[in-house]
Amino acid sequence: MYHRFEENKYPTTNIKTNDFKKQIELIKDAKLEFIGVDQLLKILVDKEPYANKKILLTIDDAFESFYKNAWPILKDKKIPFILFVSTREVNAKHPNYMTWDQIREIHQSKIGTIGGHSFSHEYLVDFTKEDIIKDIQKSHDDYIKELGSVPKIFSYPFGEYSNEIKKIVVDFGYKLAFGQHSGVIHQNEDMFELPRFPINEAYGKIDRFNFLLNTSPLPHKFNKPEDKLLTNNNPPNIEIEFLMNVKNINCFSNEGDQWGPSEVTFLDDNWIRIILKKKFESRRGKFNCTMQLNDGSWGWFGRQFVINN
């Protein structure tokens, strides 16, 4: 998941163009296949069998720097991607965002696919149900007016969602929805809670990027709590039942507003409970669990919570 390109005063959401070019080459050198939305839907929705790991690039927010610095690279190499567009700033002709003409160029290119990202890009979990529906409907009105159709794929602003928001997105007819929690997608995944690896200046360094290319999914049967909006249950009681033995797993979180290892207890060889001893202090609480697999790759499972204070 990318946001800005060569906007170096925003290091937490920016990637340098030369680093982006190197990342593309690393993916090619690893013999990994880039896929677009159509193939993603066949794999996840239609459950078509597939061989080998696939790579899908996603870009959130439609910043002008993407159009200027990354789009020429992807267009030249014909690499598919999803561009998630929140429409309010585009309508307002904000200078840091793409124009509708530029977005139409992407839409018509058959290389990029436009994804839904709400109208306002505000914290939707803070909205009433009625206002969430109004916000997403506004974006749909814009997509129909400017592009002639509504996207099939959604990305939650800030990666924040609750069970209520997920249901609203489903009711709007979206096929899939992405968060901003780290992980590798598999066919048993919740189709409206899909993970992505955020890439920025710190997390886009070549050594780490190479490591990410060597990650694999940790398929699971369920994870609790189901609702990722925490109200009176912070810290949450986290349980995950995996579809494999995970006796060598390690989990990390930002409990107490500091990243570090979290205690794991085993209910079974494939079933863990993560014991958080401190509350999540920031707006978003996260945890990641990793384990080296028999093929040498690293299995990865992560989730993000939103804290309602």
Q: Residue 41's pLDDT is what? A: 98
Q: Report which of 81, 59, 69 is spatially closest to residue 13, judged by C-alpha positions.
A: 59
Answer for the pair 165, 124: CB distance below 8 angstroms, yes or no. yes
The string of pLDDT tens digits covering residues 124-154 is: 999 999 999 999 999 999 999 999 999 999 9
What is the edge-to-edge ordering of all strands in the sheet holding 57-60?
Answer: 57-60, 81-85, 112-116, 153-155, 176-178
Annotate 202-241 with b (16+ C-beta within 10 A) or e (fewer): eebeeeebeebbebbbbebeebeeebbbbeeebbbebebe
Q: Which domains does the chain have, with CATH numbers?
A: 4-213 (3.20.20.370), 220-307 (2.60.40.1220)
Q: Residue 219's pLDDT is what? A: 95
Residue 309 pLDDT greater than 80, yes or no: no
Rounded to whole angstroms, the Cα distance separating 258 from 239 reads 21
Structure confidence at residue 308 as a pLDDT band (50, 70, 90): confident
Rounded to whole angstroms, the Cα distance separating 145 from 256 reads 46
Annotate 79-98 with b (16+ C-beta within 10 A) or e (fewer): bbbbbbbbbbbbeeeeeebb
Report the run of H or E that residue 241 belongs to, with start and end: strand 238-242
Tell me the pTM.
0.96
The string of pLDDT tens digits covering residues 182-221 is: 999 999 999 999 999 999 998 889 999 999 999 999 999 9
Rounded to whole angstroms, the Cα distance separating 171 from 176 reads 12
Q: Residue 236's pLDDT is what? A: 97
Q: Report which of 294, 236, 239 is spatially closest to residue 266, judged by C-alpha positions.
A: 239
Average pLDDT over residues 157-163: 98
Annotate 137-152 with b (16+ C-beta within 10 A) or e (fewer): ebbbebbeebbeebbb
Average pLDDT over residues 53-62: 97
The string of pLDDT tens digits covering residues 101-118 is: 999 999 999 999 999 999
Q: Residue 203's pLDDT is what? A: 87
Answer for the pair 283, 257: CB distance below 8 angstroms, yes or no. no
